[in-house]
Amino acid sequence: MKIEEIKHPKLKNHINMIYMHGENQNQKAIEKTEQTIKEYISDKEFIISVEGGKPVKIPYANDGQYLVPIFTDALEYKNGMQYFSLNVMDENKDYVIEKLDYFKKLKEDPNFLGYIVNIARVSYIINITLI
């Protein structure tokens, strides 16, 4: 699959719905939408940022926890790489197009918090309970 073929507007809509439900403090709707996201991402391929064949890890807090950036389309990836370059993090970065379970060992790592969608905008974190 080519990077130009990766498009996930439905996921973006679900993420927007989570934020709207959060503003309305509708926890049931949030949980329902999270379940929809879990089902959606289970068989879809995403652009996953890698370095040397391993997922790029974005530190989260100061205790070793981290997130792995993913992108839902080529434009997000391009903007994410610009964000990385602003933060001197873009050297030797590449990408793979895979399902989120591609790096199975990540789920076993207690410091892995999940995937961050669209790092340039810090859009949404897909936590490990949804993977």
What does each C-alpha distance from 104 to 54, 55, 66, 99 come to in angstroms? 12, 11, 15, 10
Two structure tokens written together for 127: 């936590």
Output the pLDDT for position 105.
87
Measured between alpha carbons, how far is 114 from 130 in angstroms, rounded to an integer? 9
The model's pTM = 0.84
Q: How many CB atoms lie within 10 A of CB 43?
A: 9
CB-based contacts of 54-59 (< 8 A; 24+ apart in sequence): 54/103, 55/103, 55/106, 56/89, 56/93, 58/116, 58/119
Measured between alpha carbons, how far is 38 from 80 in angstroms, rounded to an integer? 23
Residues 6+ apart with CB under 8 A from 16: none
Measured between alpha carbons, how far is 110 from 25 in angstroms, rounded to an integer? 29
Domain ranges for the chain: 6-130
Per-10-residue mean pLDDT of the chain, 131 residues long, equals 92 92 94 95 92 87 87 89 68 83 88 86 80 83
